[in-house]
Amino acid sequence: MSRQASFGAGLWGGALALLLTGCQAGLRPIAALNQPLSGLGDSQSPSLNSNWLALISSRPGSRAQVQLIDRLRHAPVPLPGLNRPDSLPISVAVDQRGERLALVRQRDDRSELVIHRRSLQASQVVPIEPAGVPQRVSLSADGRVLAVEVSRGGLWQVDLLELP
């Protein structure tokens, strides 16, 4: 009986190992991209597409900031006009072209939703109507639809905006 149990456990373990190995074979770290990421300190709020990775990074003693990594060059690109010394980014999303970034940030003790266009180096604050506190943002890869999680009157809601 114990031999049968042992045999069964062995079979199960082998099958599990095979399953794990098989699945792991499909999940391969992209070293060329992970290397620059490891140099950014703590990082969170990823927004990935085949060309770009947007994220929020922070190092001890310095303010968190939005980073946009060019996946072809495996390096961050400058974001003039987006990161401000008086604001703290909370959530970020980028479209497929890397042209539009949607950002929720905290500024002067309030949260605001911002759309940034890289080619114009310009940011637009989008009013939350009815009033609410934005928290997390999603931008469709085609850059045309924005979904934002908003806390409103004790309820979490999702606001949708269509961009031209």
Partner 1 sequence: MACTAVTALGLSGCSLWPLRRQPAAPAGLAAESRQQPALSGDGRLLASLVDRGGRTTVLLQERRTGRVLPLRQLRNRQPHSSPSLSWNGRYLALLVQQGGRRQAVIEDRATGQQHPLFLPADQEPQQLSLAPDGQSIALELITGGSRRLQVFSLAAMLEPDRAPGLLESGGGPPLQP
Q: Which residues bind partner 1 (CB under 8 A)?
A: 20, 23-30, 33-34, 37-38, 42-50, 53, 55, 96, 115, 117, 120, 122, 124-127, 129, 136, 138-142, 144-145, 147-149, 155-164
Structure tokens at 113: 């939703």
**Residue closer to partner 1, measured from CB, 27 or 72:** 27
**Residue closer to partner 1, measured from CB, 8 or 39:** 39
**Residue closer to partner 1, measured from CB, 3 or 28:** 28
Q: Which DSSP helix (H) or strand (E) runs through 37?
A: helix 31-38
Choose among 125, 24, 122, 53: nearest CA to 66: 53
Choose among 24, 62, 69: nearest CA to 46: 69
Residue at 41: amino acid letter: G
Closest CB 55 distance from partner 1, rounded Å? 6
Closest CB 26 distance from partner 1, rounded Å? 3
Closest CB 87 distance from partner 1, rounded Å? 18
Structure tokens at 27: 């999940």
DSSP-derived secondary structure letter, 128: P
Q: What are phi and psi of 136, to 5 degrees?
A: -130, 145
Closest CB 80 distance from partner 1, rounded Å? 16
Cβ(67)–Cβ(40) under 8 Å? Answer: yes
**Residue closer to partner 1, measured from CB, 1 or 25:** 25
Computed from CA positions of residues 48, 136, 35, 64, in that sequence, does the dihedral angle turn out positive or negative? positive
Closest CB 65 distance from partner 1, rounded Å? 14
**Residue closer to partner 1, measured from CB, 2 or 36:** 36
